[in-house]
Amino acid sequence: MTSTDMTVVTTESGGTQHVWALPTDEATLLDLITTVFTDHWRHIHFGPLIEGAAWEVGAPAAPTSITTHDGYATVDFGPWHFHLCIGEHTASGPELGRIRRCSRAELYRGIGSDGAPVTWGLRLFNGRGEQQMTVLLPNPFLTDRQEILDTPDFTRLTAWDALRERFLSLPPDPLDRTGKGFAHSG
């Protein structure tokens, strides 16, 4: 169920990321989504992050429900909700079902020019390799309102450490606590 192999990726903008692949079976993805949105909703931002657009949405509250139907997980916050195709979707036929379903999931951290991590997150991609969602995990250099902290607060890596342990069987990594401050990573 887990993979501890890290891949080093150079992004299109020249940045460096460390990436860990996660299983993409429906049960694991539902567990992952449920864990992120029930245990860490107060401290995350999420949405698509693609070239030219970054939707950094904060949850208004814990979800009122997380359900599945025809391969889609629905995370419902009451006034609004979103859907992610994480399992076998049959209503639209096999080809669209394959395209819509999450085919790649990963935990990642962005590395700054000094070699220290500056961002931590989770990404899901569909069968075309298009991003479905990024979850920006709590950052030791930013508040929950994404204001820069004067002094790093490494207790804000709790969600990252918990997800690495639960889904990759990896302990906390001392490298995550070497950064000095926030900088955008590519």
Instruction: List per-block mean pLDDT (blocks of 10 residues) for the chain, which spans 186 residues.
Output: 76 89 98 98 94 92 97 96 96 93 98 94 97 97 94 98 97 96 67
Where does the chain have alpha helices with state H? 26-39, 94-100, 158-168
Domain of 162 in residue numbering reads as 6-176
Of the candidates 152, 170, 168, the residue with the CA atom closest to the CA atom of residue 112: 152
* pLDDT value for 2: 43
Q: What residue type is 41 in one-letter code?
A: W
- Domain for residue 110, yes or no? yes
Q: How many CA atoms lie within 13 A of 91 on its CB side?
A: 7
* pLDDT value for 3: 52
- Domain for residue 14, yes or no? yes
* pLDDT value for 1: 40
CATH number reported for the structural domain that contains residue 100 in this entry: 3.40.1570
- Domain for residue 69, yes or no? yes
* pLDDT value for 61: 95
> What's the whole-model pTM score?
0.92
* pLDDT value for 136: 97
Complete edge-to-edge strand list for the sheet that includes strand 81-85: 65-69, 72-76, 81-85
Residue 76 DSSP SS3:
strand
- Domain for residue 183, yes or no? no
- Domain for residue 101, yes or no? yes
Q: Are 143 and 62 in contact (CB under 8 A)?
A: no
- Domain for residue 181, yes or no? no
- Domain for residue 94, yes or no? yes
Of the candidates 27, 59, 36, the residue with the CA atom closest to the CA atom of residue 158: 36
What is the number of structural domains in the chain? 1
- Domain for residue 184, yes or no? no
